[in-house]
Amino acid sequence: MEAVSRCGGAWWRWFAGFYCRGFMPLLAGVSGIVLAASAPLASDSVVSVSQESESAATAVASGGFDIMAYDVLGNTLLSRNAIERAVYPYLGPGRSAADIDAARVALEKAYHDTGYQSVVVQVTEQGLASGVLAFQVVEARLGEVRVTGAKHASAAAIQRRFPSLQSGQAPNLTQTEAELKEANRFPNRQVTPLIEPGATPGTINVELNVEDRLPLHTTVQLSNDYSQGTRPLRLMGSLRHADLWGLGHQATATYLVAPQDKNNLEVFSGSYLAPFENSRWSVLLYGYKSNSNIASLGGTNVLGDGYAVGLRGIMTTPFKAKGWFGSVNFGFDYKNFKETITIADVTDQIRTPIDYVAGVASYTLGYAGDADTYNASLSMTAGLRGFGKDVIVIDDVSYPVFGNKRGSLDARANFVHLNLDADYTHIFRNDIALFLRASAQLADSPLISNEQFAAGGLSSVRGYYQSEAVGDDGAAWTVELRSPSLGKWLRGFVDEWRFYGFSDAAYIGVRDPASGAADSFKLWSAGVGTRFQFFKILSGEAALAWPIKHSARGDGPFATFSVKAEY
């Protein structure tokens, strides 16, 4: 008997130790009781070769014996075809004890590959003289399945997340592993299965031990990442419940404001994420209401007052390869904004309301390994003609929805643009890290400002105003070299603390620009910075950047910071 095949469940760490060291000997000692209590015996001649067998004496004299058929007793989990595929190569004349064990190993492997890691196959000598060998299948059944330790989550809701763990059934550990991964994707809750012998011989009990904490989170963030013509500070507060109804539903409410002058920026937003139980599907509903005064290039100020709501269907895509993950995201956005444009040295204001529907679809792919992390997202946004309004009436005056909009001229309702976002992190052996990031947009036509590609700011090209350059097409990229973390030397309150040097760049193109307006913009900066996380709740970033290409802010250097406390 090969220990590797018998203990092939080592990939599932919490089960393998008990299975290989404790449960298999238990089964070997009480197999008769197991079968009587939990596995109905069913004698089934799985494979039969039409050949007359020799007598046992003749078989021994020839140095082997004939195996004309295998009887598999006690099977309720595998199909006849699956059993035949496993043992057929080991039928025929002139077989040895090694062939019998190979057939047993192959049959047991067929169970394990299907996910039934608790199944043991034993050899009996019944019928060997007649050329028919019997295998006894011991299908260990679950006795008691209980949930312990849950303080904030419902025990019944936890148990419903494991349909593969039902009393009286043989556990499919491949399915259970997938269910465990799904149950543990919530940051406030960790489920650990513990296995022990059941009260009935040959059964196993499973305890789902839960460690959870209050799923209510608050976040406060302060930064000076601001747009041109507005006051510097930005304050954000957020409240999130990560496990509503004990079903893993998440509700979030966020308030963002320019505290020095809320007329510059004030945004209310909210979202509700509802994952379907025992499914890869989730539904996301979100929306926001804004009132902001944001300056764009050329001294043009835009006062925006409007709202948007969106609906998304999200499906996670499974991967057999370790570390890989992905998701498909699709849905619709409805946007309704009233904008008033004021231009320097021009008395009259331009009213530019907008009301339209866009369809969005994206695919996200990621990998997380010991030294490398990849993330990539490809998305498409398409305006849907006929769903929004062509004309909006304000103060008895009619305004064309896509007419006179800030941004490119000749914008149309049935626009399409593709977006790509990707990043890569590699940690070297000395803990130095290399970080690369790129994003791009390609449009099929001139776009309204709501859909244009923007560059500049702390999360884009540092040293420039937030969204200093906007256009229909564009690309931005970042290179960072990060120091080893100081956390391993400053233990206690420092969780992570790195310094870095960086270079950011972007190119923005404008399709069919207005007369006298620029048709492209180039941004490029370099600098140094630091990121930290202290006490597990306080995190932040500070960067000092020098614009290499022209910036509306001047020559620099310019310091940008963001500090966040999360509980």
Give the residue extent of every domain in the chain: 39-139, 141-212, 222-566
Percent of the chain with pLDDT over 90: 54
Identify the band that residue 55 occupies on the pLDDT scale cut at 50, 70 and 90.
very low
| CB-CB contact of 158 with 150 (8 Å) | yes
Q: Would you say residue 246 has pLDDT above 50?
A: yes
Q: Would you say residue 341 has pLDDT above 80?
A: no
144-153 tens-digit pLDDT: 999 999 888 8
- In angstroms, the CA 177 to CA 109 distance is 18
Average pLDDT estimate for 221-237: 95
- In angstroms, the CA 291 to CA 270 distance is 15
**pLDDT value at residue 125:** 65
Average pLDDT estimate for 125-148: 85
More confident residue, 47 or 305: 305
- In angstroms, the CA 296 to CA 300 distance is 6
Cβ contacts of 288 within 8 Å, gap of 6 or more: 267, 268, 269, 270, 307, 308
Phi, psi of 5 (to 5 degrees): -70, -35
Task: For residue 207, give both structure tokens.
Answer: 């305890």
Range 39-139: architecture per CATH: Roll (3.10)
**pLDDT value at residue 498:** 98
- Dihedral sign (CA 399, 404, 405, 408): positive
Range 222-566: architecture per CATH: Beta Barrel (2.40)
Q: Would you say residue 10 has pLDDT above 70?
A: no
Identify the band that residue 277 occupies on the pLDDT scale cut at 50, 70 and 90.
confident
SS3 of residue 30 by DSSP: helix
Identify the band that residue 548 occupies on the pLDDT scale cut at 50, 70 and 90.
very high
Q: Would you say residue 224 has pLDDT above 80?
A: yes
Query: Hey, do 141-212 and 222-566 end up sharing a CATH topology, with the first three levels equal?
Result: no
Identify the band that residue 240 occupies on the pLDDT scale cut at 50, 70 and 90.
very high
**pLDDT value at residue 530:** 98
489-532 tens-digit pLDDT: 888 889 999 999 999 999 999 998 877 888 999 999 999 999 99
**pLDDT value at residue 358:** 95
More confident residue, 351 or 33: 351
Identify the band that residue 9 occupies on the pLDDT scale cut at 50, 70 and 90.
very low
400-453 tens-digit pLDDT: 667 556 555 577 888 999 999 999 999 999 999 999 999 999 999 998 888 999
Percent of the chain with pLDDT over 70: 81
Task: For residue 361, give both structure tokens.
Answer: 């679809």
Q: Would you say residue 331 has pLDDT above 50?
A: yes
Alpha helices for 21-131 (secondary structure H):
24-38, 56-61, 80-87, 97-113
- CATH homologous superfamily of 141-212: membrane protein fhac (3.10.20.310)
Instruction: Return the bridge partners of 206, or none.
Output: 145, 195
Please give the torsion angle defined by the CA atoms of residues 197, 34, 85 and 17, in that order, rounded to the nearest 10 degrees: 20
Strands (DSSP E) contained in 258-407 are 265-275, 281-295, 300-317, 324-343, 350-351, 354-368, 372-383, 391-394, 397-400
Q: Would you say residue 335 has pLDDT above 50?
A: yes
Identify the band that residue 392 occupies on the pLDDT scale cut at 50, 70 and 90.
low
**pLDDT value at residue 127:** 62
**pLDDT value at residue 124:** 82
**pLDDT value at residue 153:** 84
**pLDDT value at residue 117:** 87
Q: Would you say residue 20 has pLDDT above 70?
A: no
Q: Would you say residue 312 has pLDDT above 80?
A: yes
Q: Would you say residue 288 has pLDDT above 70?
A: yes
**pLDDT value at residue 352:** 65
Identify the band that residue 345 occupies on the pLDDT scale cut at 50, 70 and 90.
low
62-113 tens-digit pLDDT: 457 888 888 999 999 999 999 999 999 999 888 888 999 999 999 999 999 9
